[in-house]
Amino acid sequence: MGETPYGSVDELQAALGTQSYLADRGLATSIHLSLSLDKPLLLEGEAGVGKTEVAKVLSSLLGRRLIRLQCYEGIDASQALYEWNYSRQLIAVRAMDATDAETHVQDLFGPDFLVERPLLAAIREGSGAVLLVDELDRADDEFEAFLLEVLSEFAVTIPEIGRVAAETPPAVVVTSNRTRELHDALKRRCLYHWIDHPDLEREIQIVKVRAPHVSDALARDVAAAVLRLREMDLAKLPGVAETIDWANALAFLGAERLDTSIAADTLGAVVKDHEDQQLVSARLADVVGDG
């Protein structure tokens, strides 16, 4: 079992709350189990529901270093694991004299010339780290296979140096926006949780926690309006981040309640697609709720 300072799901849920992260019971259970069973946690969900945030909050909650591996199309092992600092090696070669060549060559592949990338950093750090593998669906499935290998061993062999292994594995959070299906082999090794958009009451809570200067009435109006936006047929649904942005924008402009005119002025904070904006503008009274 992994070390978790929190004995139960309730304690963890409360602790996440102190970090301004309001997790529902299901998410808290998944995080708790991920920590105690030493299994990576795979989080999926719409953009902007706070998947990445989980790793950040965990790192500050546990006092561990956050190591982030942002995936993108074409990422490969040398960008994720380690790379030799070739230019530095070249310069070093030029600066060396010919005597004692053997030692020099060994020096060339010493720690000084190794560029550490996120995965290697996480392996070295071990349980002192929270490893965030962000948007894994953007990488290709070959990288996924490579990641699977690293995640199952938490050890890597660097030919010139030897084997680097984690004493205790780091906490691992993997996120995916689900633009493609992840491989089942990877899913089997992870705990899985789908983060939904929060319900009305939870979203109001989140706005209040994240934007404390927003009045209760405004927080309620904004959350309710966003909820209605999510029911519309929009190309890009607003996430929780957009709700908070919108509430902040409205509060900054001094609004106490949400009405159609101020909603029209600040729509860009929450609806970020031109066609969506046209659609919403036409039905703004419905969205705001005074129609």
Positions that interact with other proteins (CB under 8 A): 1-2, 8-9, 25-26, 29-30, 32-33, 36-39, 42, 44, 74, 76-78, 84, 86, 89-90, 93-94, 140-146, 148-149, 152, 154, 167-169, 178-181, 183-185, 187-194
Residue 15's Cβ-count burial label (10 Å; 0-12, 13-18, 19+) is: middle
In Å, the largest CA–CA distance within the chain is 86
Instruction: Please say which residue, 127 or 277, places its beta carbon nearer to other proteins.
Output: 127
Beta carbon nearer to other proteins, 132 or 172: 172
Min separation Cβ 251 and other proteins, Å: 34
Please, what is the minimum distance in Å from the beta carbon of residue 19 to other proteins? 21
CA distance 270 to 237: 9
Say which residues have a Cβ less than 8 Å from residue 170's Cβ, sequence separation at least 6: 64, 67, 122, 123, 125, 126, 127, 128, 129, 130, 131, 154
Burial 208-241 (b: 16+ CB within 10 A, else e): bebbeebeeebbbbbbbbbbebeeeebeebbbbe
Name the residue nearer to other proteins (CB basis): 202 or 257: 202
CB of 134 to other proteins, least distance (A): 19
- State the DSSP H helix or E strand holding residue 174, giving kind and residue range, or none if neither: strand 171-176
Q: How far is the CB of 124 from other proteins (least distance, A)?
A: 17
Q: Which is nearer to other proteins, 18 or 87 (CB)?
A: 87
Name which of 145 and 200 has its Cβ closer to other proteins: 145
User: Least distance in Å: CB of 210 to other proteins?
Assistant: 25
**Burial class for 199, CB neighbours closer than 10 Å (0-12, 13-18, 19+):** exposed
Nearest-approach distance from CB 215 to other proteins, in angstroms: 33
Taking phi first (over 0 means left), then psi (-120 to 50 degrees means alpha), and beta for anything else, what does residue 244 get?
A: alpha
Locus of tokens 């990641």: 147
Residue 68 contacts residue 130 (beta carbons within 8 Å)? no
Q: Which CB, 96 or 264, lies closer to other proteins?
A: 96
Angle, CA of 51, 180 and 280, to the nearest 5°: 65
Q: How far is the CB of 194 from other proteins (least distance, A)?
A: 5
Contact 19, 60 (CB under 8 A): yes
Q: Which is nearer to other proteins, 169 or 198 (CB)?
A: 169
